[in-house]
Structure 1
């Protein structure tokens, strides 16, 4: 462990359908047995990981390790910021995946378990990571700013996440997302969207999905943006124009390998700022959470977080 590091594990015991609680006990026993110095705090409610992280950074902790799934990581990332600025620019984030989807861990190609937890304390490497700021409307109608480091989307992905988050994830990330996605596509109606990228009109019309990508994966292993990089200072935008059920079914297998980009209804671009507006009340999903609705503005914050992996 680097001298001067003050480490806290932020653990969501309910992630992974409650499996994280038991898995973490094994990890902590191993680390304590080897006399590593760290603190632990468990989340108790929605957005608690955000507050724990914010408080920890203000108290001088400089290495925050998120233990859970993509939602836990998202909350921790939001805790790094206050009043649109980083609380501690020198602080670092690590991910110990134990959740259902674990798409960001898939992006980083990192495992879970005690051996990797130990590596995060003594043998890590630094990786700069862009963060994307999103300004939109919360479900209660108030303006809201949130941050994410993997993927956000409007459309069928969001509707799938709403169903996933209301139900059990006991089948794991891949099957859970797949089953609810198949349920959504038979009744989904594509909304009218207007999309601007870096001030230029990119698309207007009906769209079934717009994914704003920092990482490559979402939805429990769908490689929605195979060329996305977390440190290039840009968002990859994946647009699926108005699709019917047959379009979804035919394209789905290729999305898990990232071979869907040649589909005639898919368009791609990159940018530093993306604006999405719609006359309809469309939901917004980011990193597996669904925090709001309405028009949204995305902006890249280059290398805004330092990862230790």
Structure 2
């Protein structure tokens, strides 16, 4: 298998990616490796698509070197192609998906990636877009949208959270899961995912399997700001499914297809990439993508 490391040169706090590039190139000869530096937003998606189109018979893994945004771009390029696999080298601001496999330490070992195991995983298809970890809307998507808008502030994440607490706590949605109404009313936040974590540390779907063909759906009905803040530790630890303080607010389920209707122009986050739509259908492609898990990382 050929490994092409897709490096986002501006991801993370340390913009100097030359040591990483040198480390990858030093493995040439022992492994079939190459490096591609992205030039602009969405460039990774286009590069992967073009490469797979030009090399349809080559077994190739594209390693996203950045955060969840870079991984999302690589997934969107690779998902339509049977010869493509994906992995991640975490050097960006968020690395939620790989927490499913025990966290970033396993993925910071380049040799472990190169000697890793390709595993079939589920991937979400939303129109012509794909997401590997989570689709979420409500409070979380407000944070994701405003984090980018406030990125030049001293503390963009806290600024985004404060904005979401003021403007993103009362939302309305109609959600139909596998043909049956899952929820229709006011809510504060909802996550639909194959992974286990969102927002850096929140274990929103502790029971999730990323290869069972089913999406995990976790919705919080409308809750006060204080009510949410006093329960966030439970949500972060992944104990919210059994927390009696949360039971009356929580709606949880599983489905293959989820149809979502929200107000026009509403923020919806796909692996942290924000779109504004009033209607989407999330279709889970069972085993739709190969993901290379580093050698030594736990495979569930």
State TM-score, norm by structure 1: 0.85
The aligned counterpart of 1:306 is 290
List gaps (5 residues or longer) in structure 2: 294-300
Match of 1:119, SS state, is helix
Match of 2:208, SS state, is coil
Structure 1 residue 169: Cα displacement:
8.2
Match of 2:230, SS state, is helix
Q: Which runs of 4+ in 1 moved over 6 A?
A: none
Match of 1:207, SS state, is strand
| RMSD after superposition | 2.2
Answer whether contact 2:106 2:112 (CA < 8 A) is retained.
Answer: no
Match of 1:223, SS state, is coil
Q: Counterparts of 1:232 and 1:207 in 2: how far apart (Å)?
A: 27
Q: Is 1:206 the equivalent of 2:202?
A: no
Structure 1 residue 46: Cα displacement:
1.4
The aligned counterpart of 1:139 is none
What per-residue deviation string (whole Å, max 9, x for no partner) do you get for residues 203-259 of structure 1?
111011111111011111111111111111000000111111111111111111011
What per-residue deviation string (whole Å, max 9, x for no partner) do you get for residues 241-282 of structure 1?
111111111111111101122312011000000011134532
Q: Quick one: which of 15, 21, 33 aligns to 1:38?
A: 33
Residue 181 to residue 102, structure 1, CA distance change in 2 (3 Å): same
Q: Is 1:25 the equivalent of 2:18?
A: yes
The aligned counterpart of 2:130 is 147
| Equivalent residue runs for 1:52-67 within 5 Å | 52-60=47-55, 62-67=60-65
Structure 1 residue 193: Cα displacement:
1.1
Residue 132 to residue 56, structure 1, CA distance change in 2 (3 Å): same
Structure 1 residue 63: Cα displacement:
1.4
The aligned counterpart of 2:102 is 109
Q: Quick one: which of 215, 221, 229 aligns to 2:195?
A: 215
Match of 1:216, SS state, is coil
The aligned counterpart of 2:141 is 158
Answer whether contact 1:69 1:99 (CA < 8 A) is retained.
Answer: yes
Q: Counterparts of 1:146 and 1:276 in 2: how far apart (Å)?
A: 15
Q: Counterparts of 1:116 and 1:170 in 2: how far apart (Å)?
A: 33
| Equivalent residue runs for 1:1-309 within 5 Å | 5-17=1-13, 19=14, 21-22=15-16, 24-36=17-29, 37-60=32-55, 62-81=60-79, 86-87=80-81, 89-111=82-104, 116-121=109-114, 123-135=115-127, 145-168=128-151, 177=157, 180-261=160-241, 262=243, 263=246, 264-309=248-293
Residue 254 to residue 178, structure 1, CA distance change in 2 (3 Å): farther
What per-residue deviation string (whole Å, max 9, x for no partner) do you get for residues 42-81 of structure 1?
1121111100111121232511111100000001111024
Q: Counterparts of 2:107 and 2:265 in 1: how far apart (Å)?
A: 44
Answer whether contact 1:26 1:114 (CA < 8 A) is retained.
Answer: no
Answer whether contact 1:197 1:272 (CA < 8 A) is retained.
Answer: yes
